[in-house]
Amino acid sequence: MTSSRDTKSPLSTSDLHAAVSLRLAHHDYRYTRGRRRLVEAILAAGQPVTLPDIVVAAPGLAPSSVYRNLDVLERSGVVNRITAGGGHAYFEFAEPLLSHHHHLVCVDCGSIEDVFLDDELEASVDRSLAEVAGRAGFTPLRHSLDLHGRCAGCGSG
Amino acid sequence: MTSSRDTKSPLSTSDLHAAVSLRLAHHDYRYTRGRRRLVEAILAAGQPVTLPDIVVAAPGLAPSSVYRNLDVLERSGVVNRITAGGGHAYFEFAEPLLSHHHHLVCVDCGSIEDVFLDDELEASVDRSLAEVAGRAGFTPLRHSLDLHGRCAGCGSG
DNA sequence: TGTGCGAATGATACTTACTCTCATTATGAT
DNA sequence: ATCATAATGAGAGTAAGTATCATTCGCACA
């Protein structure tokens, strides 16, 4: 199964499910049918999605369960919550299920698109952040580098 | 607490008020007493603050007016809204009222601290982001580079 | 300094993203 | 297959943020 998604995900679909299962098990969570469908809805989107996106894409899932399971998936390191856009939070797979990347956040419509920077720059950023964090007694987990502006659709409006 | 704010703000207090007034006027907004007190509450904090922070620091301000005026200040480019921490949004002065900087966001307590990176790195980041944005037809306004982790207080928890 | 118009205020009602509760159902180990 | 335990889902509940609107204030002009 090849697709443009492969440029972002270093994993095949079955490997993704295996990795998710492993991470859930490591936190004493079960990989139930509902959670599998949730993972597949996020995978199918191929970009950060909101809860309504997911409920529309997989109408069998109860909103309350989706909220609860997004929380479980986040706690297990499967999913990242992006709060940059207004209104709803956005969700996408966490690293290393998805390659390290960043976001173009549209200040008008709130849409979020993934982009990639070259490794050399990433290394410089990490080095500088680590130095600054150490000075503040801060324990780094991850960085988020987002570009805010107007997307192609909203740009001329 | 030393006056570390001076290292962040390139403006004196009176210049700040003048700059705010100018930006508001440019958007046909008035610099009223309430808005002045709001600006002073944010200035006094010296770091990103939530709406409850502001209401506690300046009890005379009505919450509804604070919400409305934070919106006005954001629209006028006086203030930036930071949605990284959970629960409440955080607010701080926008550039160039505050020097360009980034955030240490604690994933446990949600606190946000300002940090600075060297100009050379900033330039590299901007260059790379501009290139990536151009490819996507995206019009950049600003970037946000935040480090997520555990602050000194929450670190061992 | 006084007058008038439109913007700003603030108390309150409202919206809604998200969480909690709990009886029922599904899951995985044995 | 059985059982203990975790997960589900429908609905009630919470709280951050927004809309409403009568009153008050700020600014422009006289």
B129 with B85, same domain: the answer is no
Which residues share a beta bridge with B100? none
Q: What is the radius of gyration, based on Cα positions, of chain A? A: 17
Q: Do B145 and A143 touch (CB under 8 A)?
A: yes
Picking from B67, B127, B38, B56, the residue whose alpha carbon sits closest to that of residue A124 is: B127
B104 with B91, same domain: the answer is no
Task: Tell whether the model's pLDDT for residue B86 goes beyond 90.
Answer: no
Q: Pick from B95, B124, B141: which residue ends a domain?
A: B95
Q: Does A89 touch chain B (CB under 8 A)?
A: no
Q: Give the CATH number for residue B138.
A: 3.30.1490.190
In a domain, B154, yes or no: yes
Averaged pLDDT for residues A123-143 = 94
Q: Does B124 touch chain A (CB under 8 A)?
A: yes
Helix (H, G, I), strand (E, B) or coil at A124: helix
Q: Does A141 touch chain B (CB under 8 A)?
A: yes
Task: State which residues form the domain around B150.
Answer: 99-157
B77 with B120, same domain: the answer is no
Q: How far are the Cα atoms of A41, A104, B21, B85, B154 from residue A67, in angstroms, in the given order?
A: 14, 25, 43, 18, 26
Nearest nucleotide from residue A68 CA, by C1' atom:
C19
Task: Tell whether the model's pLDDT for residue B14 goes beyond 50.
Answer: yes
A81 with A64, same domain: the answer is yes
pLDDT at res. A17: 94
A83: nearest CB among B83, B104, B145: B83
In a domain, B23, yes or no: yes
Task: Tell whether the model's pLDDT for residue A136 goes beyond 90.
Answer: yes
Q: What are phi and psi of B132, to 5 degrees?
A: -65, -40
Q: Do B148 and A151 touch (CB under 8 A)?
A: no
Task: Tell whether the model's pLDDT for residue B8 goes beyond 80.
Answer: no
Q: Does B148 touch chain A (CB under 8 A)?
A: yes
* Chain A nearest CA to B110, separation (Å): 13
Q: In the structure encoding, which two tokens stand for residue B87, read together?
A: 């629960």
Q: In the structure encoding, which two tokens stand for residue A24, read together?
A: 């859930």
- Positions on chain C within 7 A of a protein C-beta: 7-13, 17-21, 26-28
A15 with A65, same domain: the answer is yes
Q: Give the CATH number for residue A23.
A: 1.10.10.10
Of all residues in chain B, the one with the smallest CA distance to A87 is B83
B87 with B26, same domain: the answer is yes
In a domain, B6, yes or no: no
Task: Tell whether the model's pLDDT for residue B114 goes beyond 70.
Answer: yes
A7 with A61, same domain: the answer is yes
B112 with B45, same domain: the answer is no
Q: Does B152 touch chain A (CB under 8 A)?
A: yes
Residues of B in contact with A113 (CB under 8 A): 136, 138
Does residue A10 have a cis peptide bond before it, meaning omega lies within 30 degrees of 0? no
Determine the Cα–Cα distance for residues B68 and B33; give it in Å rounded to an integer.
14
Distance D12 C1' – A64 CA (angstroms): 12
Distance C6 C1' – B28 CA (angstroms): 12
A127 with A93, same domain: the answer is no
Size (chain A), residues: 157
pLDDT at res. B13: 87
Q: Pick from A64, A80, A98: which residue ends a domain?
A: A98
Q: How far are the Cα atoms of B2, B8, B15, B50 from residue B12, in angstroms, in the given order?
A: 16, 11, 5, 23
Confidence of residue B73 (pLDDT cuts 50, 70, 90): very high
Residues of A in contact with B139 (CB under 8 A): 149-150, 155
pLDDT at res. B51: 96
A32: alpha, beta or left? (left if phi > 0; alpha if psi -120 to 50): beta
Task: Tell whether the model's pLDDT for residue A3 goes beyond 70.
Answer: no
Q: What are the tens digits of pLDDT across the range A79-111? A: 999 998 778 999 999 988 999 999 999 988 889
3-state helix, strand, coil in chain B (%, to 5): 45, 20, 40
Average pLDDT over chain B, rounded to an integer: 90
pLDDT at res. B1: 42
Residues of B in contact with A107 (CB under 8 A): 141
Determine the Cα–Cα distance for residues A123 and A142; give it in Å rounded to an integer.
13
In a domain, B66, yes or no: yes
A7 with A84, same domain: the answer is yes
B48 with B80, same domain: the answer is yes
Supply angle C-alpha A43, A45, A48, rounded to 5.
Answer: 95
A84 with A29, same domain: the answer is yes
pTM of the model: 0.90
Q: What are the tens digits of pLDDT across the range A24-81? A: 999 999 999 999 999 999 999 999 999 999 999 999 999 999 999 999 999 999 999 9
Supply angle C-alpha B75, A115, A123, rounded to 5.
Answer: 105
Q: Pick from B66, B95, B124: which residue ends a domain?
A: B95
Residues of B in contact with A148 (CB under 8 A): 140-144
Distance D13 C1' – A76 CA (angstroms): 27
Contact A35, A23 (CB under 8 A): no
Please count the structural domains in chain A: 2
